[in-house]
Structure 1
Amino acid sequence: MLRKLVLEIICLLFILLFAYTAASKFLDYENFRAVIGQSPIITRFAPALAIAVPVVEIIIALLLSIPPYRRLGLYASFAIMVLFTTYIIVLVTFAEKIPCSCGGVISRLSWTEHLYFNIFFVLLALLGMWLHTKQPNDPPVKNRFIHGLTN
């Protein structure tokens, strides 16, 4: 019972995080695109990433909100948070000018606070993956790559 409640809370936190940041990026799309265009690491990919990142965040939020796909959503949450955290570490380590392309109130965090925030969510995703056990109603996974990730 407690396991299920904690898992529900973790999923809800990720749904809120991804829905909020995706909406924020779409609502201020021009600014988001401009800021990621200033990034020394991803400049050439900025136009594609300006659409892809919030779309992926929405997809992950949807996966987490549909119980049979929750496991895949937790793995995707972990993966994207690791990517975001790695990006922050690389930026802070190697970049002179560090633009923040995060949405809403998250963009007001310092880079150190942002790093801690991301690490917290990486750990939360790990806890969610650990708590989630394969349910009988989980959809069968045909793709070997995804199958390897979810087993």
Structure 2
Amino acid sequence: MKYLKKIIPFAVSIFFVILFCYAAISKILDFENFQVQISASPLLNAFSQFLPYTIIIVEVIIAGLLCYPKTRTIGLIGSFILMLIFTGYIALLLRTSKNLPCSCGGILEKMSWNQHLYFNIGCVILSVIALGLNLKCSGPAD
């Protein structure tokens, strides 16, 4: 059981590293489209000058933090917060808007908004589980 408590946060961290790096690279490779999609969102339009850069930088920083055991807890907290923000944004869009382009990049933009919401909720849950187990494992010795 102790092995699982260590491997789950590690595996979830790898998942988020792949997810955030993939998303950031996809956004960089199609940066103009990413900027246009952000500016097309009624909720994000006011922030469209700096938000595309900020999202990419934050995704890369969190991915980097997840790579090292000493910074993994901070990375998991960052993953939780970022995915919670993305999930809240999607939920709000589903309640207030129709047919908005997805600015996620890559295969994630092929998902419907509802699929995206469920995927993000799953990511939030994964981050909470991994964070809880990581805190238990990195806490004081039993």
Structure 1-normalised TM-score?
A: 0.87
CA offsets per residue over residues 97-126 of structure 1, 9 Å max, x none? 422111100000011100010000000000
Q: Following superposition of structure 1 onto structure 2, how do residues 1-150 of structure 1 map, counting pairs within 5 Å?
A: 1-133=3-135, 135=138
Residues in 2 aligned to 1:30 and 1:98: alpha-carbon distance in whole angstroms: 16
Secondary structure of residue in 1 paired with 2:70:
helix
Query: Paired residues, what number?
Result: 136
- Residue pair 1:25, 1:102 contacting (<8 A) in 2 also: yes
Secondary structure of residue in 2 paired with 1:54:
helix
Residues in 1 aligned to 2:20 and 2:26: alpha-carbon distance in whole angstroms: 10
The one-letter amino acid of 2:120's match is N
Residues in 2 aligned to 1:116 and 1:37: alpha-carbon distance in whole angstroms: 24
Q: Once superposed, what is the RMSD of the aligned Cα atoms?
A: 1.2
1:7 deviates by: 1.3
Runs of 4 or more off by more than 2 Å in structure 1?
133-136
Secondary structure of residue in 2 paired with 1:41:
coil
CA offsets per residue over residues 33-73 of structure 1, 9 Å max, x none? 01111001010101201100011000000000011000000
- Residue pair 1:22, 1:54 contacting (<8 A) in 2 also: yes
Residues in 1 aligned to 2:5 and 2:138: alpha-carbon distance in whole angstroms: 14
Residues in 2 aligned to 1:76 and 1:97: alpha-carbon distance in whole angstroms: 29
Secondary structure of residue in 2 paired with 1:21:
helix
Q: Could you say which structure has the greater relative contact order, defined with CA pairs below 8 angstroms and 6 or more residues apart?
A: 2
Structure 2-normalised TM-score?
A: 0.92
Runs (5+) with no aligned partner, structure 1: 137-151
